Structures are given as C-alpha cells and as structure tokens.
Amino acid sequence: ETGVTQSPTHLIKTRGQQVTLRCSSQSGHNTVSWYQQALGQGPQFIFQYYREEENGRGNFPPRFSGLQFPNYSSELNVNALELDDSALYLCASSYEPSGRYGETQYFGPGTRLLVL
C-alpha cells in the first residue's frame, strides 16, 4: 500500500462528455503527477502540480486540466471525451518535484476509464 488513493476505480462515459478523476496523496506530499496508460503501453506523463501550481505538462491537449488542493487531494478533468481517452489514469505523489534527490513517486491504483 502506497497511501495514495484514487476514485472512482472504474468509469464509463460516452464521447463528448466530461469526466473528473480524483486522487488523494500521502500526507505531506506537495507534488502530484498524473499519467495516462493505454492498454499494453507504458504510462505517459500528463502534468504535474507542485504546491497547487502546474509544474510541467506533457504532450496532452488543453482539454486535459487539473487542480491540486491544500488538503493533498487533486483532480484530473477531461473535457470533450474521445474514444482514444480510454485508458488507466494513474496519479503519483511525492514530497518534491525533482528526481535529482532520489525522490521516488508513489502511485495510486488508478482509475480505468472507458469511453464509448
């Protein structure tokens, strides 16, 4: 157990809808990162938040947005869902954003999103 939780565990939406996924980080972790993992592939970095500010973004369109709250919870919002958005969405938390200090990221179990 990493202490990182995500909700819901599974979700089915239709194309064009909007979805909000939630993550609860370990207490004291100021950094949360979100990843998208398509079937049979490695996770792809969506964005990272540090102390409630966006701290880096991967190659994802603006319809992917996020929020981080002071209580160590965060959200991933996806607007105008497309079929290709079907994937496992993972959040990961850590104390600091940089990996240079040997900082590991602790992953939640993920939310599996299916877009029909």
Binding site for other proteins (CB under 8 A): 2, 4, 6, 33, 35, 40-45, 48, 55-56, 58, 88, 90, 92, 97-100, 102, 104-110, 112
- Residues forming a β-bridge with 90: 35
Nearer to other proteins, 18 or 59 (CB): 59
Q: Is the peptide bond before 8 cis (omega within 30 degrees of 0)?
A: yes
Work out how close the CB of 23 gets to other proteins at its nearest, in angstroms, rounded to a whole number. 11
Q: Which two tokens stand for residue 9?
A: 């565990």
Work out how close the CB of 39 gets to other proteins at its nearest, in angstroms, rounded to a whole number. 10
Nearer to other proteins, 45 or 72 (CB): 45
Residue type, 51: R
Cβ atoms of residues 82 and 64 within 8 Å: no
SS3 at position 58: coil
Nearer to other proteins, 19 or 49 (CB): 49
